[in-house]
Amino acid sequence: MISSFRNALDSGKFVVTCEVAPPKGLNLEQTGHHIDLLKDKVDAMNLTDHQSSVMRFPSIGGALLVKEMGGEPILQMTCRDRNRLALQADLLFAASRGINNVLCLTGDSVMLGDHKTAKGVFDLDSSQLVAAARTLEKGRDLGGNDLDGAPSFCAGAIVTPEANPLEPQLIKFEKKIEAGAEFIQTQAVYDLEKLKDFMDYARQFKVKILAGIILLTSAPMARFMNKNIAGVNVPQPLIDEIAGAPKGGAIAKGIEIAGRMINQIHSENICDGVHIMAIGKEELVPEIMASAGLTPAAS
Partner 1 sequence: MIRSITKLKSEEEIFRLLEGLNRIFIIGCGTCVTLTRTGGAPEVAAMKDTLLESGKLVTGRVVVPVACDNLTSEILAEELGRIEQADALLIMTCAFGVQTVSSQLKRMVVPALDTLFIGKESGSGQFNEICTQCGTCVIGETGGICPVTVCHKGLINGPCGGTNQGRCEIDSNKDCAWTLIYNRLKELGRLDSMRKLQGPRNFLGEPTPGKYEMSES
Name the residues that contact partner 1, by CB under 8 A.
Answer: 84, 105-106, 108-109, 111-112, 120, 122-128, 131, 142, 158, 160, 163-165, 167-169, 171-172, 174-175, 178-179, 187, 230-231
For residue 211, the surrounding DSSP H or E stretch is strand 208-214
Closest CB 63 distance from partner 1, rounded Å:
22
The nearer residue to partner 1, 83 or 264, going by C-beta atoms, is: 83
The nearer residue to partner 1, 38 or 184, going by C-beta atoms, is: 184
- Pick the closest to residue 78 from 118, 26, 121 (CA basis): 121
The nearer residue to partner 1, 122 or 205, going by C-beta atoms, is: 122
Q: Are 111 and 80 in contact (CB under 8 A)?
A: no
Closest CB 172 distance from partner 1, rounded Å:
4
Under 8 Å CB-to-CB from 254, ≥6 apart: which residues? 215, 216, 217, 218, 242
CA distance 103 to 105: 6
Closest CB 279 distance from partner 1, rounded Å:
16
HSE-CB of 11 using CA atoms within 13 angstroms: 16
- Pick the closest to residue 183 from 210, 164, 212, 163 (CA basis): 210
Closest CB 178 distance from partner 1, rounded Å:
5
The nearer residue to partner 1, 171 or 298, going by C-beta atoms, is: 171
The nearer residue to partner 1, 4 or 187, going by C-beta atoms, is: 187
Closest CB 291 distance from partner 1, rounded Å:
28
For residue 276, list its beta bridge partners: 18, 213
Closest CB 105 distance from partner 1, rounded Å:
8
CA distance 110 to 94: 24
The nearer residue to partner 1, 14 or 183, going by C-beta atoms, is: 183
